[in-house]
Amino acid sequence: MRIVVCMKVVPKTEDVRFDPQTKTLDRSGAESEINQPDKHAIELALQLRERHGGEVLLLAMGPSFFEPYLRLGIAMGADNAFLLSDKAFAGADTYPTSYTIASAIEKIGRFDLIICGEESSDASTGQVPPGVAEWLGIPQVTYVSQLSVDGDVVRAKRTVKGGYEIVEASFPLLVSVELGCNSPRFPDFRRKRWAEKELKLTVWSAADLGIDPLNIGSKGSHTIVEELVELPRPARRMLRVSGGVEDEAGLILQKIKEVSSRNEQS
């Protein structure tokens, strides 16, 4: 089984800042990490390889500083990694992003399964995995919590509102896995040293993929951020009470009744 895992490097949520001029994420002061759902995607791919054989290939799109995180995925057990890195890819919304990733997967060649995280923590659209499947013209199953393979039949447990459903599909197939569906393994430190010193990552530019520059990056995007508005944090209402225990309790009860009454009226 040949499995491609789409992986994204994201800024830690607490470090996220927006550039008011470019209206894009400012990563300069942010500590980065592998997108958590993508870690679950890597773990699922490794589990499938352990049961059925084959290889696991990592694919990411972003600046050159993504390389150490791809090597970290190799240290977890992946076999090889590809990085799509070109200034022409910058500023892409989900449309050119999914197009670029799909083009890279076509360049990689034969595959049986593509596994993605359900969404990225820095955008949270969940649109890229379905977009990749549509560009490639293959079936997709989203919000997968469990996956099993029996011959040519793939059986997925998919979370839906109020429960789950079991979906069957055949290869080639794309699935996106939900956050918390498994426990990603720790990297093997001996393999990590090898990945850092000896592994040669494959880096592709837009020219390497042979794609139209008008269909990628900000030029190929169908959405534009026109304005950023920072909402003020709501002020906490605080009331200090003093006096005897019975007086304090009576005042607190009175305030609770007042708030409850306002909520019922609204």
Q: What number of CA atoms fall less than 13 Å from residue 250's CA on the CB side?
A: 6
Flag whether 123 is in a domain.
yes
> Mapping DSSP to helix (H, G, I), strand (E, B) and coil, where does residue 213 land?
helix
What is the reported pLDDT for 39?
Answer: 96
Burial 14-25 (b: 16+ CB within 10 A, else e): eeeeeeeeeeee
DSSP H helix total and E strand total for the chain: 7, 13
pLDDT in the model for residue 160: 92
Domain assignment present for 92: yes
Walking along the chain (266 residues) 10 residues at a time, the average pLDDT comes out as: 95 72 69 92 97 97 93 96 95 94 96 94 87 97 96 94 95 96 93 91 95 92 80 75 84 86 74
Domain that holds residue 66: 2-215
**Residue 116 dihedral angles phi and psi, to the nearest 5°:** -125, 160
Q: What CATH number does residue 122 fall under?
A: 3.40.50.620
Sign of the alpha-carbon dihedral angle for 95, 164, 116, 179: positive
Residue 229 inside a domain? The answer is no
Residue 236 domain-assigned (yes or no):
no
Q: How many domains does the chain have?
A: 1
- Please report, to the nearest 10 degrees, the dihedral formed by the alpha carbons of residues 153, 53, 41, 81 taken in order: -130
In a domain, 63, yes or no: yes
pLDDT at 243: 80
Residue 227 belongs to a domain? no
Whether the Cβ atoms of residue 6 and residue 127 lie closer than 8 Å to each other:
no
**Max CA separation in the chain (angstroms):** 78
For residue 109, being part of any structural domain is answered with yes
Is 147 part of any domain?
yes
